[in-house]
Amino acid sequence: MRSRRSGLLATAENVHMTGRFAPSPTGELHLGNLRTAAVGWLAARSAGGRFLMRVEDLDRGRSRPEHEARQLADLAAIGLDWDGVVVRQSERFEHYDAAIDRLVAGGLVYECYCTRREIRAEIEAAPSAPHLPADAYPGTCRDLSPERAAELRASGRRPALRLRASDQHIDFIDRLAGQSGGGVDDFVLRRNDGTPAYNVAVVVDDSEQGVTHVVRGDDLLDSTPRQIFLQGLLGYDTPDYLHVPLVLNEAGERLAKRDGAVTLSALEAADVSTDEVVAWIARSLDLADPDERPTLADLVDRFSPEGIPREPIVAPALVSTREAGA
């Protein structure tokens, strides 16, 4: 049995640690999602902290109640529990609007009438500065005249709202990736259909829920500078960040449901039990020996953030391990 416990012991200093998992209910969770959720849960529970569940259902076109129900059931099946009620972003628009209103009052917001096609064309014609994301907004509407804005409104275009960030740069320390950072462009705060943008909702929710530690996939590492910058403008504390390397398919690409039996329901249909999935998660985190079948609760005393493998892992390892040793 593995034994590795350091870093996040439940002390007076970190007993108030609060983590969270925040899936979008647009389909079933795959192995990568489940593994990241498990890391977040283990980080919180190993510190004696709270673990919250938040449903990020801002995408009203793709979010479905049946997907949410299945996701929560799958998380419970692998051994996760959470504190308090499940929070849904679709029920919190007034909180996001209040934060945006504060930024508007501070003169930090402007209307943007650009279409996605126009933005892509301008980026291709004039690439962004090296310190900014490759898809950074080029600032087309930043200093739009009132007359031009009126013309665009009269033509039927509805504006999005963008933050006037003026190409800032933010550095931060990620608990796994180490020294990190990136540029902050004039990102969207509210889409032109009135929906608050992801970065606003996440920042407001993390602050109002008292989240102190954010554990998520490293595909979101590049979003962190924008969120830290927004936290500063709104007077929020910045949580600690830990970005977990992704689970990949055999081609080295980010895992997706199209890659075959990668969800609990698909694996169950292939005679792979939930216990085997949990055992694979444990082995992928170097928390269990090959012949062990631990529960997630068994791993709490073995977990430390410093021991998380820093390289991505390939999902088919589950199948090959099962065939070899099940």
Q: Measure the CA dihedral 27/221/137/162, to 10°.
A: 70
Q: 219 pLDDT exceeds 90?
A: yes
- Is residue 128 over pLDDT 90? no
134 or 236, which is more confident?
Answer: 236
Task: Let me know the angle formed at the C-alpha of 217 by 88 and 22, rounded to the nearest 5 degrees.
Answer: 10
Q: What is the mean pLDDT of the chain?
A: 90
Tokens 């931060």 found at? 172
- Proportion of the chain above pLDDT 70, given as a percent: 90
pLDDT at 40: 98
- What would the pLDDT profile of 53-100 be if each residue is shown by its tens digit? 999 999 989 999 999 999 999 999 999 999 999 999 999 999 999 999
What is the reported pLDDT for 3? 52
Beta-strand pair 313-314/247-248: parallel
38/278 Cα distance (integer angstroms): 9
- Output DSSP code: residue 7: S
The span from the CA of 63 to the CA of 61, in Å, is 6
Residue 131, pLDDT > 70, answer: no
Return the pLDDT at 127: 65
Domains of the chain: 18-91+245-325 (3.40.50.620), 94-198 (3.90.800.10)
Radius of gyration of the chain from its Cα atoms, rounded to whole angstroms = 21
pTM above 0.85, yes or no: yes
Tens of pLDDT, residue by residue over 293-309, are 999 999 999 999 999 99
Burial state string for 222-237 with b = 16 or more CB within 10 A and e = fewer than 16: ebbbbbbbbbeebebe
Distance of alpha carbon 152 from alpha carbon 112, whole angstroms: 10
Phi and psi torsions of 160, nearest 5°:
-85, 165
The number of beta carbons lying within 10 Å of the beta carbon of residue 209 is: 16
- Find, among 240, 239, 242, 197, the residue nearest to 217 by Cα: 242
**Overall average pLDDT of the 206-210 stretch:** 98
The tokens 């996440």 sit on which residue? 202
Query: What is the rounded distance in angstroms from the CA atom of residue 71 to the CA atom of residue 296?
Result: 17
Question: How far, in Å, CA of 295 to CA of 278, rounded?
Answer: 7
CA-wise closest residue to 96 among 63, 58, 61: 58
Encode pLDDT of 135-193 as tens digits. 889 999 999 999 999 999 999 999 999 999 988 899 999 999 999 999 999 999 999 99
Q: Which of 53, 56, 51 is nearest to 96 (CA)?
A: 56
Q: Per-residue pLDDT for 250 more than 90?
A: no
Length of the chain measured in residues: 326
Phi and psi of 149, rounded to 5°? -60, -40
Query: What angle separates helix 93-105 from helix 198-208, to the nearest 10 degrees?
Result: 100
